[in-house]
Amino acid sequence: MRLQCPYCGVGCGMRVEVSTEGMLSVRADREHPTSRGELCIKPLHIAEILGKGRITTPMFREGVDKPFRKISWQEAYSILKDVLMSSSPEQVYFYISGQLLTEEIYVINKFVKGFLRTNNIDANTRLCMASSISAFRRVFGSDRTFGSYADIDDADTFLFVGSNAAISHPVLFRRVLKRRIEGHTRIITIDPVYTETASANDVHIPLRAGTDTVLFNAVLGLLYRTGRIDKGFIGTGTEGFEDALRCAQAYPVDVAGRICRIDGQDIEFLANVFAESRKLITFWCQGINQSASGTMKNFSILNLHLATARLDSKRGFPFPLTGQCNAMGGRLMGYLTEGLPGYRRVSDKADRSFMERFWSVGGIKGVPGLTITEAVDRMVSRDIRFLWVVGTNPAVSLPGLGLVQSALERVFLVVQDPYFNDTARYANMLLPAAQLGEKSGTMISGDRTITYCERFSEPHAEAKPDWRVFVEMAQKMGWREPFGFSSPQEIFLELKETTRDTHCDLSGLDYSMLPSRLTGESCKEAVSSSSSGKAVFIPATFSVRDGQKGFVLITGRLKRHWHTMTKTGKVESLVKGEPPPYVVMNYQDALKLGVSEWDTVRLTSRLSSTERVVIIGRIKRGHLFTPFGYPEEFCTPINTLVATRVDPLSGQPELKYTPVDVEKVPS
């Protein structure tokens, strides 16, 4: 059976074989275009977790102080119908996942926005790609991609910004390393931490956390002063350059160097990179996006690519790395608060009208719903009374976990998941969901390669595919005809028609043609999607955060695990391969504090504190790094310390810049 890996956004192809004795073996799919026979270690253990820690049957309790009792699916639907029917659209909320299949995302979005008539639905992509989506929409008129992974194979320069791709997108990074062996290339990493990615590159620029916008503004200003911008393209293909340039010129090399705490030669080097590379691909991930100024950071990168006309497979392009296995499918289906299928938006009257006709509904709300962090506040105030969480674990992954936990205690909480997780502790109802391999459907990788994932096992116990849960729920609500789907194929036939003649047109595809990649747009096609027909330079402003005392805490992924370890934490060999919960500290900072490696320190923010063992590493002074994914059974989740600050344009939370104090814990 062929399927896509259920972890990161690279979207590697896998093959699972079932022996006559029922034993499963997993190997890489040599014919899959995204990964070409490569896999990292995580998906190789899928067979080990299929039966571990599963939710086996629907369960219900009136309150968290009561024990769960087993119920039937029909009883679960009846309870949910009563709650939904007695609630207004503003009182309900749905929080879903980029790890669901595209068909499932479509059905849930149709159920919520089309028939419950609320836009109160968000996804964990809000924590991942929202700032990139926000920037691309404003600059190019659409959330889209340039090029593909195949473009790695003839590029000569790779710039990784705020991305430890060596562990977060390992197969993609191996392809970059292979390209370096084959040709004259250079790999550059910009990050306060000397990561695994940096250790394999040619140049590491250790800028101060949060100052990326200043750095790229300085590069743009220097390129202009030295006459190395593409004036022809700027004049014919863009607008707004003068305003963006004025903003950039506020940061000459010496000023930017002081703010970023790097040598001015690093800025001059990057200007040469953008001016002289034959084909430059800029990769970035959460070090850019997970910021209260994440959209501005994205603007600053896109401005450089616009100024040097690097927007195609010939000269290179900007490439934000998608975090989750099917976040791209979710984006195509419009599963954030502001979206509709086909890259449409609820705020656009024509887009709403199209979907209302398509779904035969009226009254799709024209205002985006609440983002998940906004919704948490409304749950605490009891303005939102009902929360349905599907395939994600907000009790660990959201910022401001003290407030999040209070919110989860004050709503009627439904947790639909294959596994018990931290969020399930607060649930009123648990619904057992089928795991990948127990259901079929499509996923879309970070470069928009669509893969059909085949089923190789029956659902565990009473688990159901997520699409079937929502189809049956809709039918229970009386919407039998609009949700008359009996298979994922039928859903795919409908959803692909919502994309016809859009920039994510799936209408010519069927399952037999997959895997297949949606063609990347050329520079000309990309800019034509904006209202003016031109790409837009946008001033990338920067807010100084001086006066910072103590340390800046940065969070990221664990090397062998996926997010909050709901699945990978059940694999004994992967758990053994990781150190205990740790924090990386600069040697000079540790010396000043009298801390040695493997000592325990207490990290304290204005919200909370937790303890970690110290690993001495190459990290910029005044900075700390710790993985975010430890569930509560391992230690206090680090997001208990992280305040809820969000980007005003994208709604994406700041997860990479938390002021903390550090003290050694006596042994």
Q: What six digits make up the tokens of 665?
A: 């814990």
Angle between helices 212-225 and 241-248 (to 10 degrees): 110
The torsion defined by the Cα of 616, 161, 5 and 311, in degrees rounded to 10, comes to -170
Running along the chain, 667 residues long, what does each successive block of 10 average in pLDDT? 95 92 89 95 91 96 94 98 98 98 98 98 97 96 90 97 96 96 92 96 96 98 98 96 98 97 98 98 97 97 98 96 95 97 96 98 96 98 98 97 97 98 97 97 96 96 98 98 98 97 93 88 47 89 76 93 89 86 98 97 96 97 94 90 97 96 94
- pLDDT tens, position by position, 87-116: 999 999 999 999 999 999 999 999 999 999
Give me the pLDDT at residue 546, please.
Answer: 60
Phi and psi of 43, rounded to 5°?
Answer: -70, -15
Count how many residues are written for the chain: 667
Say if strands 516-517 and 449-453 run parallel, antiparallel, or are unpaired: antiparallel
Residue 138 has a CB neighbour count (10 Å cut-off) of 16
Torsion sign over Cα 397, 129, 374, 390: negative
Q: What six digits make up the tokens of 599?
A: 């000592």
Give me the pLDDT at residue 523, please.
Answer: 41
Q: Give the CA distances from residue 463 to residues 20, 443, 469, in Å, rounded to whole numbers and listed in that order.
A: 24, 20, 9
Give me the pLDDT at residue 548, please.
Answer: 65
Which domains, and CATH codes, for the chain? 59-128+331-505 (3.40.50.740), 138-320 (3.40.228.10), 551-664 (2.40.40.20)
CA atoms within 13 A on the CB side of 474: 25
Compute the distance between CA of residue 379 and CA of residue 381 in angstroms, rounded to an integer.
5
Residue 510 has a CB neighbour count (10 Å cut-off) of 13
Q: Following DSSP, what letter does each residue of 570-635 receive, concatenated?
A: G-HHHHHTSPSSEEEE-HHHHHHHT--TT-EEEEE-SS-EEEEEEEE--B-TTEEEEES---TTTS
Q: What six digits make up the tokens of 551?
A: 């340390």
Torsion sign over Cα 495, 497, 503, 506: positive
Residue 165 has a CB neighbour count (10 Å cut-off) of 26
Compute the distance between CA of residue 322 and CA of residue 286 in angstroms, rounded to an integer.
9
Give the H or E element holding residue 495: helix 488-497
Give me the pLDDT at residue 530, please.
Answer: 54
Quick one: three-class SS letters along 424-474? HHHCCEEEEECCCCCCCEEEECCCCEEEEECCCCCCCCCCECHHHHHHHHH
Apex 46 CA angle, 40 and 49, nearest 5: 135
Q: What six digits make up the tokens of 181?
A: 């062996």
Secondary structure (3-state) at 655: coil
Give me the pLDDT at residue 629, please.
Answer: 87
